[in-house]
A and B are shown apart, each in its own frame.
Chain A
Amino acid sequence: MYSQHTFLEKSFRHLLIWIMIAIALFPVIWIFSVSLNAADTLFGGYRLIPKNFTTSHYQELFSVPRHPFGLWLWNSIKVSGTASVLTVFLAALAAYALSRFRFRGRRTGLIALLLIQMFPQMLAMVAIYLFLLNIGRYISWLGLNTHAGLIMVYLGGAVGFNTWLMKGYFDTIPHELEESAMIDGATRFQTFLWIIFPLVRPILAVIFILSFIGTYGDFLLPSILLTGTEKYTFAVGLRLFTMGPYATRWGIFAAASILGAFPIMVIFLSLQRFLVSGLTRGAVKG
């Protein structure tokens, strides 16, 4: 349905796309500009290239102990990193069993997993909150306001879907490799660890990155489960920069946004080709 276009048609299309690009990029450029503007207000950003250029907002982020920005970012990386690594490992183990072994209840289990997974875990937020509150009475490091508790919640929520995703990938890998390794005397677990695991690295990387980005961007659960400022993740902390005494000071918020968003943006854009396949299999965002 496409054909060579006339000059007019071509320019029209380019124009439309450029308008769209302007809309897509405008907030990013604006926030960048505000973060470097000494005026430190929403007003300040109206000139895209600020007249009074400053990096003081970035410095203030790391120097004022009232808002431990560096700590929040580190908390986010810690929580998301740990949860994602564990998700990948646990899901890979489970997916391997579901893909390679034949046992009673396997089919029922797979279908049950899929059905339960349809219900978003975060809808049970009240129950999760009260549950962690109760756990905390017996196991204090797993209760409310602990990173371990939050990681555990994420782990439970991510493991089901990713097991399914990985099982599909494992199914495409021929059995012969493992069989020959087992003839050479390798145990089941050894074949999993030394043969399958290296082979499925691409999907492991995709799942790692996607679940990292997913947990990094979660606001709801940490806002319920983490109560102390020093435990906040970046998502919960960043919101404080738009409230109270900061409501009229956008420089700080802008600087924090840039630092928090940029690494994720770069990773996502540079790996988009690999990530897209994982995304279109059902993980939805936005």
Chain B
Amino acid sequence: MFLLKIFFLSVVDALGIWAGVGFLFAENWTVLIGLIIGLLALNFALLSRRAYPLRYLLPALFPFFLMVVYPILYNMSLSFTNCGTGHRLSKEEVIAHFENQYYLPEGSERYTYQTFRNPEGNLILLLTSQTTGKSYLSRENVLEAVEMGYPRFIYEAGEVSQINGYRRLSRGELFQILGELQQLSLKRDGETIRLVSLNEFRTYKPQYRYDRKEETLTDLQTGIIYTPVEGTFASVEGETLQPGFTVPIGFQNFFEIIKNPQITRPFFRVFSWTFLYAFLCVVTAFTLGLALAMFLNDPYLKIRYFYRTILIVPYAIPAFISILMWGGMLNTDFGIVNYLLQNLFAFKIPWFQHPIWAKVALVLVNLWLGYPYMMIVCLGALQSIPRELYEAARIDGANSWHQFKEITFPLLLISIAPLLIGSFAFNFNNFNVIYLLTQGRPPIPGAQTLAGATDILVTYTYKLAFGTSGARYGFAAAISLIIFVIIGTISAVNFRFTRRLEQMGEEL
């Protein structure tokens, strides 16, 4: 057992160190640090007697840190950057990208070529310069001068047909590997030679040179000098090079929310609608759920378990399915709801075209989805209210309204309040209902941002990052950071409410 452990550990450590060296050379510090911490924790857990509990905890902590803690921190740091379309890569990656760009200078050397392949699929190229007439053989992307009388060449009809087990490819075969040939960049005396047409290779020159000391990028073809300005390389005349790179921009994302009027107004509409929506969802679902629970809790009601089971059905169906279903039912022109309204009352409701009606539709659908949860919860809470209270009240002459107002509701609220707040927090981020029913539509007229009339903060974030018109990761991260703060506050209030933390302190 012990040997097995040591064996396992040494294999993991070896792999880890091997990967770590890779990250070290790639200068990927975040991953490297994470890797080192992970490895140390694993070694500590398995080797130290004192860390025995860690052996049980580590498997759960690993995904928790990787996929919850780290993303939350990463999200925070992202919100202070300009990361997004055109600014996605790091500066190093962008420089590497430019250093890999080549241009074709006037009158550069031309080469004809022949391609040879061995049975394993490896390629060798034989290039002949049109200017000097010299021949070169490629070896691992480096060209070496070669005499045509090279002993390994096998000639056929005056042309080289085989080299050292490599067979010459016909033109047809060449077409098949054209993609591979286009990727090649061959080196000869510091020059780069690449494919320009099916017939020839030519000498290319690197287009950019980056000066690490001066932080300037020079276009060697035109001589223009670019310097990094807010995440893009820009010349003095204001010309910019794409792609740009990610740079920290401080609180600019947050300022934009407050200062840019074309964003501010839609944002605060979204912001207030998010609160209103979550509030309406909780209130409507709670009211209906409580009313049904009161009915079902009546011991004189027959087959109440049957009723209960049927009434839970909306809760048992995966929400995304019922939301999409409702989307069809509420379709303005073809939906069954409008069909019934038309036949019974002779009018139609523009469910998804008018902002107010779209909001009504959202709350109604959410009510259908959410009341069973409230019903279940209220049923449980009602059953825990002692019967004696009601008997005492009846003796004192209280009618059923008074009993509800003075006994049921206050007692119920004590046990349900935390769940109501939890439900508020949940609906605050209820992505599925909004996105699958209205996608945030109808649009706000004249708004410069993607926000629609029914968007809540989460769907707005989603659209900013993954919508159709370019990704604004940094800005989206800033908005999700705002949601984080709101949700954190709500949860803190909730804790105060339940005093769970204090109780916990005693229990643990």
Contacts and interface: CB of A to CB of B under 8 A. Distances in A.
A124 B75 contact: yes
A160 B62 CA distance: 11
B436 A239 contact: yes
B292 interface: yes
Nearest to A235: B320
Nearest to B30: A134
A64 interface: no
Interface string A130-170: 11001000100000000000001101110110010000000
Interface string B118-141: 000000000000000000000000
Interface in A1-43: 1-5, 13, 16-17, 20-21, 23-25, 27-28, 30-31, 41-43
B69 A129 contact: no
Contacts of B307: 17, 21
Contacts of B408: 1
A136 to B, nearest CB: 13
Contact of B72 (A17, A124, A242, A280): A124
B376 interface: yes
A182 interface: no
B75 A127 contact: yes
Nearest to A265: B316
B42 interface: no
A224 B466 CA distance: 7
A1 B404 contact: yes
A152 B376 contact: no
Interface stretch (B180-188, B227-235, B425-433): B425-433
Contacts, number: 269
B309 A272 contact: yes
Contact of B75 (A126, A155, A157): A126
Contacts of A216: 318
Interface size class of B (residues with CB under 8 A): 35 or more
A130 B30 CA distance: 14
The residue among A90, A103, A239 with the most chain B CB atoms within 10 A of its own CB is: A90
Given A284-B419, A286-B373, A217 B318 contact: yes
Interface stretch (A53-61, A111-119, A173-181, A198-206): A111-119
Contact of B70 (A131, A220, A282): A131
B339 A46 contact: yes
A94 B324 contact: no
Contacts of A3: 300
A286 B484 contact: no
Given A30-B329, A93-B56, A126 B78 contact: yes
B312 interface: yes
Interface in B337-376: 339, 366, 368-370, 372-373, 376
B23 to A, nearest CB: 8
A242 B327 contact: yes
Interface in B261-299: 285, 292, 295-299
Given A24-B310, A131-B71, A122 B431 contact: yes
Where chain A touches its partner, the secondary structure class is helix
A159 B83 CA distance: 30
Contacts of A124: 68, 71-72, 74-75, 480
B107 interface: no
Nearest to A45: B336
B9 interface: no
A107 interface: yes
Given A20-B311, A286-B369, A160 B68 contact: yes
Contacts of A90: 59-60, 63
A257 interface: yes
A242 B328 contact: yes
Given A155-B67, A276-B380, A5 B61 contact: no
A189 to B, nearest CB: 8
B316 A268 contact: yes
A119 B484 contact: yes
A156 B70 CA distance: 10
B286 to A, nearest CB: 12
B320 A264 contact: no
B482 to A, nearest CB: 10
A219 B325 CA distance: 15
Interface stretch (B94-102, B168-176, B201-209, B457-465): B457-465
B377 A123 contact: no
A101 B49 CA distance: 13
Given A119-B487, A124-B72, A260 B436 contact: no
Nearest to B50: A103
B429 A120 contact: yes
A157 B377 contact: no
B449 interface: no
A155 B63 contact: yes
A27 B326 contact: yes
A253 B322 CA distance: 12
A71 interface: no
Contacts of B461: 123, 125-126
A280 B56 contact: no
Contacts of B295: 13, 16-17
Contacts of B400: 1
A121 B66 CA distance: 11
A77 interface: no
B487 A21 contact: no
**Nearest 5 pairs of A and B residues by beta carbon:** A156-B67, A97-B56, A42-B334, A94-B60, A268-B316
6 contacts: A13-B295, A116-B72, A121-B68, A156-B68, A219-B431, A239-B436
Given A125-B465, A156-B68, A286-B372, 11 more contacts: A3-B300, A90-B59, A94-B61, A123-B458, A124-B71, A124-B72, A131-B74, A152-B67, A238-B324, A265-B316, A286-B315
